[in-house]
Amino acid sequence: EIVLTQSPGTLSLSPGERATLSCRASQTVNTRSLAWYQQKAGQAPRLLIYAASSRATGIPDRFSGSGSGTDFTLTISRLEPEDFAVYYCQQFDSSSMYTFGQGTKLEMK
């Protein structure tokens, strides 16, 4: 089973700063299957990025995804107040099917 490990667990930043979130896989991940989601308290997840670097419909261009192999990154270039939330990465492989990272909480400093 492919395990996704996200770091840091919590990231404390201020609006206007740059956020870099990491997702590391225990084995090579198909880039096409790596996605990122944002979840706010009491809400369902929202798709941000799919296929590692493609922005979902309606997602601002301050969100970007990159990476390949076992290391993937979600970058938020300039934080807005509404960006403070929990972020999850997700992958698919034929043996473990769909798995998610444990999440990174982005909190306001």
Partner 1 sequence: QVQLVQSGAEVKGPGASVKVSCKASGYTFNLHWMRQAPGQGFEWLGIINPSSGDTIYAQKFQGRVTMTRDTSTSTVYMELSSLRSEDTAVYYCAREPAHGSLYFDYWGQGTLVTVSS
Question: Closest separation between CB of residue 44 and partner 1, Å?
Answer: 4
Q: Are 89 and 101 in contact (CB under 8 A)?
A: yes
Site string for partner 1, 8-37 (x = CB under 8 A): ----------------------x-xx-x-x
59 scored as a contact of partner 1 (CB under 8 A): no
Query: Per rule CB under 8 A, is residue 90 in the interface with partner 1?
Result: yes
Q: Which is nearer to partner 1, 84 or 90 (CB)?
A: 90
Which residues of this protein are in contact with partner 1, per CB under 8 A?
30, 32-33, 35, 37, 44-47, 50-51, 56-57, 88, 90, 92, 97-103
